[in-house]
């Protein structure tokens, strides 16, 4: 059963990648986008090479430095999502009379509740990550 599960997962991934490539090539005309301006292709190459070098540098770091960098980036992402939620709430409160007037108050309220659930999940994941990585060090 386990092998069948892996085959299904990889088949779904391959199908999704093939679908996206066909959509990019035929619908979005991806090659024409890059062929229309050589700077776009150069920018893509710079991003690719820079990302590859950054990944190589990250993988060559000692384990403790890599772990600290991962924790720091996770914390920055968590704080960023929290800030975005706060900004959403501020704008929602500020524009609530306008939203009620155009009839979008409840739709955006539901989106806000979904955003709150996402925020809770991110904080819970960060807490679990910190417990798994740093929780057992202070014992004994």
Place of tokens 């999940």: 121
Q: Over the stretch 5-24, which tens digit does the pLDDT of each residue have?
A: 899 999 999 999 999 999 88
Separation between Cα atoms, residue 95 and residue 108, nearest integer Å: 11
Please state the domain extents for the chain: 1-60, 63-140
State percent of the chain over pLDDT 70.
96
Q: Does the pTM of the predicted model rise above 0.85?
A: no
- pLDDT category of residue 140 using cuts at 50, 70 and 90: very low
DSSP H helical segments within 95-134, as ranges?
96-102, 105-134
Q: Which of 24-33, 67-76, 116-125 has the lowest mean pLDDT?
A: 24-33
Residue 8 tokens read as: 């299904």
């Amino acid at each position: 059963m386990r092998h069948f599960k892996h085959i299904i997962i990889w088949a779904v991934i391959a199908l999704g990648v093939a679908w996206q490539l066909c959509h990019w090539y035929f619908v979005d005309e991806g090659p024409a986008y890059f062929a229309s301006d050589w700077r776009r292709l150069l920018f893509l190459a710079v991003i690719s090479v820079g990302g590859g070098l950054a990944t190589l540098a990250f993988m060559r770091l000692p384990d403790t430095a890599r772990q600290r960098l991962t924790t720091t980036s996770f914390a920055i992402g968590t704080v960023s999502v929290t800030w975005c939620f706060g900004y959403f709430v501020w704008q929602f409160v500020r524009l609530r009379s306008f939203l009620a007037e155009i009839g979008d108050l409840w739709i955006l309220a539901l989106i806000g509740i979904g955003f709150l659930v996402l925020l809770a999940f991110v904080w819970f994941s960060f807490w679990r990550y910190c417990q798994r990585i740093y929780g057992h060090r202070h014992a004994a």
